[in-house]
């Protein structure tokens, strides 16, 4: 049974409590295990792993599990899977549950061509009957709560998320997250938070609003327009892993995070950098880390030449040597 949410209370999916109702969205190549753990350290309702292809995961193709490091046994983590075949989706779900995951999330929202061309992600919005067969297969395969992340529809002529969500609820989905854009919008324009209200009215399970939510003000507006039960933040957390905790404190009275500045910011970024090196290995880790380091430096007055040096250093020791100077400013307001 899914318990309805009062705005100041936690979400409870079966026996899994999610409080506060502020979540970290899955972002391919960004919300890896080191970043999710960093965000969680400030305080968050739950996080969602990077999407993993169900068949590749089950068949253990080289690098899939190692790259994703899904955090099966991490508290407050939903492991997200994608695919187009009910058998592989169910098998992946069983494997995830067996490895200790508390929740499983089904991806029906990814707009990337390499995903939709494989009839996965948001492409499933074009074939709702087939999408429901995948949902039923996953829900039927496991005992943990299964959630769904999707968009308003494929395009403006097929805004069918409300119908999909209603059918998904009947199939056993416990929570649905809606990105307030169509697939054909990708990330252009603005998220239509008001359109999410149609999905909220169509179901009795919790609905989470996603898209263009970057701070407490945008979260508050998204909730007001959508009537949603919570928010999911993705790109807004880039370079600001504390922002979800800020939103939760402002909207739900959670403990306010101490935003790192000065030496605390330097220590946090250096620790995150070293965690990425450890996670990926030095060669890949330093490349993956560049975007994160760039986002951190976006919020401080890093000299352009120093910024360029940090992002082009080959030796991690040189990066760690120069980061204190690059970040030794107060976080911009």
Catalytic pick from 110, 176, 209, 293?
Answer: 110
Sign of CA dihedral 83, 214, 254, 299: positive
Closest by Cα among 10, 51, 47 to 25: 47
Long-range contacts of 249-254 (CB under 8 A, 24+ apart): 249/43, 250/216, 250/219, 250/220, 251/7, 251/20, 251/22, 251/216, 251/219, 251/220, 251/223, 252/7, 252/8, 252/19, 252/20, 252/21, 252/22, 253/8, 254/20, 254/43
**Tokens coding 134:** 């995948």
Sign of CA dihedral 30, 32, 37, 38: negative
Catalytic residue list contains 270:
no
How far, in Å, CA of 311 to CA of 82, rounded? Answer: 33
Judge whether 242 and 260 are in contact, CB under 8 Å. Answer: yes
How far, in Å, CA of 106 to CA of 120, rounded? Answer: 10
Closest by Cα among 106, 116, 85, 107 to 183: 116
Judge whether 160 and 132 are in contact, CB under 8 Å. Answer: no
The catalytic site residues sit at 110
């Amino acid at each position: 049974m899914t318990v309805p949410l009062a705005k100041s209370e936690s979400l409870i999916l079966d026996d899994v409590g999610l409080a506060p109702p502020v979540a970290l969205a899955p972002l391919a190549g960004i919300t890896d295990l080191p970043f999710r753990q960093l965000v969680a350290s400030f305080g968050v309702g739950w996080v969602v792993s990077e999407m993993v292809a169900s068949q590749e995961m089950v068949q253990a193709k080289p690098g899939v599990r190692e790259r994703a490091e899904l955090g099966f046994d991490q508290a407050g983590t939903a492991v997200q899977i994608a695919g187009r075949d009910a058998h592989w989706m169910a098998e992946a779900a069983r494997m995830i549950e067996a490895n200790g995951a508390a929740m499983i999330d089904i991806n029906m929202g990814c707009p990337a061509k390499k995903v939709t061309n494989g009839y996965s992600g948001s492409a499933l919005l074009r074939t709702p009957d087939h999408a429901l067969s995948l949902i039923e297969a996953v829900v039927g395969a496991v005992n943990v709560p299964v959630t769904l992340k999707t968009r308003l529809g494929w395009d403006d002529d097929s805004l069918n998320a409300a119908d999909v969500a209603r059918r998904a609820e009947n199939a056993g989905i416990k929570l649905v997250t809606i990105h307030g854009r169509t697939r054909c919008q990708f990330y252009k324009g603005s998220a239509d938070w008001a359109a999410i209200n149609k999905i909220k009215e169509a179901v009795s399970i919790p609905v989470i609003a996603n898209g263009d939510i970057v701070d407490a003000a945008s979260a508050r507006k998204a909730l007001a327009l959508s009537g949603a039960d919570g928010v999911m933040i993705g790109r807004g957390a880039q370079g600001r892993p504390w922002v979800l905790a800020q939103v939760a404190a402002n909207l739900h009275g959670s403990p306010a995070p101490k935003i790192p500045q000065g030496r605390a910011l330097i220590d946090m970024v250096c620790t995150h950098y070293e965690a990425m090196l450890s996670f990926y290995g030095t060669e890949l880790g330093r490349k993956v880390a560049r975007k994160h380091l760039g986002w951190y430096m976006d919020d401080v007055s890093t000299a352009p030449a120093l910024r360029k040096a940090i992002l082009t250093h080959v030796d991690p020791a040189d990066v760690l040597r120069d980061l204190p100077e690059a970040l030794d400013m107060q976080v911009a307001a």
